C-alpha cells in the first residue's frame, strides 16, 4: 500500500478518535497505529495545515481535541479499504459523525440503485419515493436458513457449500434502536449489551442477502465471525461498484451511438 494511502487511513482513525472526544495522546495513537510518535505529530500537522483542522491540546485531559465541531474533507478510500478501516475503528468506539462514516454513506448512495434494501432505507430518510423491495432481502436469507435438507451447491460467488452458518454481529448503540425495530431479527437472535449496543446471531445457508440488508447500518456494525463472511462484505461492495461503472459505460456508449 502506498505511503500516502497509509497516512490517509491514519488520518481517518485520528479524526474518529477526536470526534468521539477520547482526547487521544501521541503515545496512545502511536501504539494503536503501530507508528512512531514523530509520525503521529506529522499526521496531526497534516490535519491542521492541509485540512484546516482546529486541533488543540487540552492540558487538563492530557490529550488532543477539536476546538470546535469539525470534520475534515479527507480523500475517499476504496470500498474495501473503507470497510476494513471502519471495522478496525469500530472496535475502539462508534464513528457515526466521523469523516469515514460520511465517506461510507456517500459510497452507499452510489450503489443504492443496485441495492434496493439500502435504497429503500436512504429514500425513507430523505422522503423520496421508495424503490421496490429487494427480491433477496430478509426473506431471502430467512428462507435459505429454513430450507429443508442440505444443499450441495455453492453459495453465489463464495465457492463454499451451502451448509448452515451462524453469523455473529455487533451493532453500535447509535443504531441499536433502529436495529431492534427493523424486524430483521427474531427476539431470540438479539441481545442487548451493557454499553447500549446490540449483539445478534443468525443462521443461514447464504449470508450474502443478509449482508445486503446489513449495509443500511454501515459502518456502525461489526461482523464478529466467521472470518470468511466478514471478508465477503468488501467483496460485495467492490462487485457492486464494478457493476455501477459498467452500467455507466454502457449508457455512455449507447448515448454516443445514438448521435
Helix (H) or strand (E) holding 204: strand 198-204
Give the pLDDT of residue 157.
Answer: 46
Encode pLDDT of 103-125 as tens digits: 776 666 655 544 444 444 444 44
- Please report where in the chains the cell 451451502 appears, as a residue: 162
Helix count (H) and strand count (E) of the chain?
10, 6
Give the pLDDT of residue 139.
Answer: 46
Give the pLDDT of residue 12.
Answer: 92
DSSP readout, 57-101?
A: EETTTTEEEESSS----PPPPPHHHHHHHHHHHHTTS--TTSHHH
pTM: predicted TM-score of the whole model, two decimal places: 0.55
Q: Are 134 and 104 in contact (CB under 8 A)?
A: no
CATH code of the region 3-76: 1.10.10.10
Give the pLDDT of residue 143.
Answer: 56
Give the pLDDT of residue 39.
Answer: 96
Distances, alpha carbon 196 to alpha carbons 20, 64, 139, 187, 199, in Å: 16, 26, 27, 17, 10
Q: How many residues does the chain have?
A: 259
Give the pLDDT of residue 156.
Answer: 44
Encode pLDDT of 223-256 as tens digits: 888 988 888 877 777 777 677 677 778 878 888 8
List the chain domain ranges. Answer: 3-76, 115-249
Encode pLDDT of 134-164 as tens digits: 333 444 566 554 433 333 334 444 445 468 8
Give yes or no for residue 90 having a pLDDT over 70. Answer: no
Task: Flag the least confident range among 59-73, 169-183, 215-229.
Answer: 215-229
53: phi then psi, degrees, rounded to nearest 5: -75, 130
Amino acid at each position: 500500500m502506498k505511503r500516502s494511502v497509509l497516512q490517509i487511513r491514519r488520518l481517518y482513525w485520528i479524526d474518529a478518535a477526536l470526534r468521539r472526544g477520547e482526547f487521544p495522546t501521541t503515545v496512545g495513537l502511536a501504539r494503536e497505529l503501530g507508528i512512531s510518535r514523530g509520525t503521529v505529530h506529522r499526521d496531526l500537522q497534516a490535519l491542521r495545515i492541509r485540512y484546516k483542522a482546529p486541533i488543540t491540546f487540552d492540558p487538563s485531559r492530557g490529550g488532543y481535541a477539536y476546538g470546535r465541531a469539525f470534520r475534515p474533507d479527507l480523500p475517499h478510500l476504496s470500498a474495501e479499504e473503507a470497510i476494513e478501516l471502519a471495522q478496525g475503528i469500530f472496535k475502539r468506539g462508534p464513528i457515526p459523525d466521523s469523516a469515514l462514516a460520511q465517506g461510507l454513506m456517500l459510497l452507499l448512495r452510489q450503489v443504492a440503485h443496485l441495492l434496493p434494501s439500502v435504497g429503500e432505507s436512504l429514500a425513507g430518510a430523505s422522503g423520496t419515493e421508495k424503490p421496490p423491495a429487494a427480491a433477496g432481502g430478509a426473506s431471502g436469507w430467512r428462507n435459505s436458513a429454513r430450507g429443508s435438507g442440505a444443499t450441495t451447491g455453492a453459495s453465489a460467488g463464495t465457492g463454499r457449500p451451502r451448509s448452515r452458518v451462524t453469523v455473529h454481529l455487533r451493532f453500535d448503540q447509535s443504531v441499536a434502536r433502529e436495529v431492534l425495530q427493523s424486524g430483521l431479527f427474531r427476539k431470540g437472535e438479539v441481545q442487548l449489551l451493557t454499553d447500549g449496543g446490540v449483539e445478534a446471531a443468525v443462521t443461514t445457508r447464504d449470508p450474502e442477502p443478509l449482508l445486503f440488508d446489513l449495509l443500511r447500518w454501515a459502518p456502525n456494525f461489526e461482523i464478529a465471525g466467521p472470518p470468511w463472511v466478514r471478508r465477503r462484505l468488501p467483496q460485495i461492495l467492490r462487485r457492486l461498484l464494478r457493476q455501477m461503472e459498467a452500467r455507466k459505460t454502457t449508457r455512455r456508449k449507447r448515448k454516443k451511438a445514438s448521435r
